[in-house]
Amino acid sequence: MKQINLGATSLKIPAMGLGIMRMEAKTPAEAAKVLDTAYDCGINYIDSADIYGQGKSEEVFGKALKLAKVNREDLFVQSKVGIIIDPARSHGSFVFGGRYEFTKQHILDAVDGVLKRMGTDYLDAVLLHRPDPLMDLEGIKAAFDILQASGKVRFFGVSNFNPQQFQMVQDSITQRLMFNQLQFGLMHTGMVDFGINTNISNADGTDHDGGLLDFCRRKHVTIQAWSPFQYGNFEGTFINNPDYPELNKELKKLADKYGVGKNAVAAAWILKHPAQIQMIMGTMTPAHITDSAKGADIDLSNQEWYDLYLAAGHQLP
């Protein structure tokens, strides 16, 4: 498995991580097989959030870890906190928030909840899940300091924060923010589109995120790409989707060339970017994990990267 730097450090993490949002639907035995398959593929990075499955995903993970061949100390486990669940809109793997909260006490309580559900004494990383307009900067600092001093959390980061929000938190805390988890993939390319269409009056030239891609690259912040094979947020995957014939034709062409599946090629497209992006796959199907992981070993040419970008319906000025 290809390795990338953890933030601005010299520590190495795999270029792919396993997201466990859908683990709530698995039995502990099934989940253990998922963990073992990922680990055998070189993926020892686990991404969670306290809201996944309304907490059940982390409970299943904790039980699965006791059955799996892999040990806790062999894994890098992170979770995200800060979203208060809206039960009326949440069901199964699809969980939605009613509000956000980054007070000191909520962060501390949320982390304790994650630790209890997972059956572990510490998390390798905690990320603030989505920017809260009412975020308590002093509370975030106090919570992070307590979590670090107690040994409950090693590293910190954010998810879905724009550059100003990221820097505002960074300026307020003692620790260095290592991550920003953002949606990115062949059908969610806004961070790339904006840069390509600089100073052009079209929709792709609209800055939706404050130049996040370049900001994170300059600051040596690890971007974690969530929902890498999805179009929209939760609409579905573009892989083998008849609504995306040209993209799937190009994916098939390159999959045949490299002797892999389409998922691996779509993953390789993300990992080709020089920002050292870590891709978070959310599948709970061992065969899909094995195929996607092969993307870390594919070095697409620059032309192949652009061919995929264009086949996805994007244009160059």
pLDDT in tens, 194-245: 899 888 888 888 888 889 999 999 999 999 999 999 997 767 899 999 999 9
The Cα-based distances of 129 to 30, 34, 150, 182, 284 in angstroms read 27, 24, 22, 10, 22
d(CA 19, CA 80): 11
The Cα-based distances of 231 to 96, 123, 180, 190, 234 in angstroms read 18, 31, 20, 12, 7
β-strand pairing of 12-14 with 3-5: antiparallel
d(CA 176, CA 190): 26
Which of 27-36, 83-92, 169-178, 191-200 shows the lowest mean pLDDT across its residues? 83-92
pTM above 0.85, yes or no: yes
- Using DSSP's 3-state secondary structure scheme, residue 89 falls into helix
Number of domains the chain is built from? 1
Any domain includes 316: no
Confidence band for 95, pLDDT divided at 50, 70 and 90 = confident
CA 61 to chain centre: 17
Structure tokens at 234: 């939760």
Any domain includes 148: yes
d(CA 161, CA 163): 7
Structure tokens at 200: 């052009």
Any domain includes 317: no
φ, ψ for residue 174 (rounded to 5)?
-85, -40
Any domain includes 202: yes
Structure tokens at 164: 């100003």
d(CA 289, CA 283): 7
Q: For helices 56-67 and 28-40, what crossing angle results, to 10°?
A: 70
Nearest to 35 by CA among 77, 92, 6, 1: 77
Helices (H), 150-189: 163-170
The CATH number of residue 240's host domain is 3.20.20.100
Confidence band for 88, pLDDT divided at 50, 70 and 90 = confident
pLDDT at 205: 84
d(CA 176, CA 155): 8
- Using DSSP's 3-state secondary structure scheme, residue 66 falls into helix
Mean pLDDT of the region 5-19:
95
pLDDT at 93: 66
pLDDT at 97: 76
Any domain includes 272: yes
Any domain includes 160: yes
27-65 tens-digit pLDDT: 999 999 999 999 999 999 999 999 999 999 999 999 999
Percent of the chain clearing pLDDT 90 (strictly above)? 88
d(CA 74, CA 209): 35
φ, ψ for residue 234 (rounded to 5)?
-130, 15
Any domain includes 198: yes
- Using DSSP's 3-state secondary structure scheme, residue 187 falls into coil
CB atoms near residue 254 (< 10 Å):
22
pLDDT at 43: 98
Any domain includes 154: yes
Query: Can you give the residue range of the structural domain that contains 176?
Result: 3-311
